[in-house]
């Protein structure tokens, strides 16, 4: 196990379980001397490969999930409000994230956390770029520059590339976590992540 290699945390902003992991992964990694490499990716591209769809749109599963999310939030003590729009279109938020990564890296993770908090914690629809820019402004990020960046072909290409990398590594859901080369799917696998970090293997 490489002591200092960051943990790769792949996530979709429209995913509630990605939200829950976003609240815990930093502390978990730090406990074992690791950092976290945050990587939003477009789950829609995965669904074409797995012939699947967002959980909330699947008959039976959809209705169940909202109750499960509510219970998970309660057990974690996490803020939660049913989003106005779900699944949210996360394209603008993802592109903004990678633009920040390149231009003002220290703001990227606080931005991702704020998007998750506003969407899953407070129910806000962050599909429209105006709403994303507003959340960013509260962190002191230039909303106009962000809005322009989401239409920048290089940023669009960057997101596609990151998504393809995630898929090539086997990520098919959110959250998807890599500790070195070991892959974990789901917030409910953080116990396995911790087992690996603590013991060095399975």
The residue ranges that bind a copy of itself (CB under 8 A) are 46, 49-53, 58-61, 63-64, 67-68, 70-72, 74-75, 167, 170, 172-173, 183-186, 188-189, 191-192, 195, 202
Placement of tokens 């950092």 in the chain:
35
Q: How far is the CB of 10 from a copy of itself (least distance, A)?
A: 13
CB atoms within 10 A of CB 3: 8
Is the peptide bond between 100 and the residue preceding it cis, with omega within 30 degrees of 0?
Answer: no
Shortest Å, Cβ 76 to a copy of itself: 11
Nearer to a copy of itself, 144 or 191 (CB): 191
Nearest approach in angstroms of CB 57 to a copy of itself is 10
Contacts of 168 (CB under 8 A, 6+ apart): none
Nearer to a copy of itself, 69 or 96 (CB): 69
Q: What order of strands is seen across the sheet that includes strand 182-185? A: 36-40, 7-11, 176-179, 182-185
Whole-angstrom distance, CA of residue 150 vs CA of residue 114: 18
* Least Å from the CB of residue 160 to a copy of itself: 18
């Amino acid at each position: 196990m490489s002591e200092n290699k960051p943990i790769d945390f792949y996530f979709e902003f429209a995913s509630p379980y990605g939200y829950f992991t976003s609240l815990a992964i930093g502390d978990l990694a730090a406990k074992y001397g690791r950092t976290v490499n945050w990587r939003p990716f477009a789950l829609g591209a995965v669904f074409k490969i797995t012939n699947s769809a967002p959980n909330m749109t699947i008959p039976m599963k959809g209705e169940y999930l909202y109750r499960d999310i509510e219970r998970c939030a309660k057990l974690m003590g996490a803020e939660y409000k049913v989003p106005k729009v779900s699944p949210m279109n996360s394209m603008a938020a993802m592109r903004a994230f990678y633009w920040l990564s390149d231009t003002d890296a220290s703001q990227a993770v606080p931005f991702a956390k704020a998007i998750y908090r506003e969407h899953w914690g407070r129910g806000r629809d962050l599909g429209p770029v105006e709403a994303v820019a507003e959340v960013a402004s509260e962190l002191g990020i230039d909303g106009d520059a962000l809005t322009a960046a989401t239409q920048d072909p290089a940023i669009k290409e960057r997101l596609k590339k990151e998504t393809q990398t995630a898929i090539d590594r086997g990520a098919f859901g959110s959250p998807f976590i890599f500790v070195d080369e070991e892959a974990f799917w789901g917030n409910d696998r953080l116990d396995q992540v911790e087992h690996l970090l603590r013991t060095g293997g399975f």
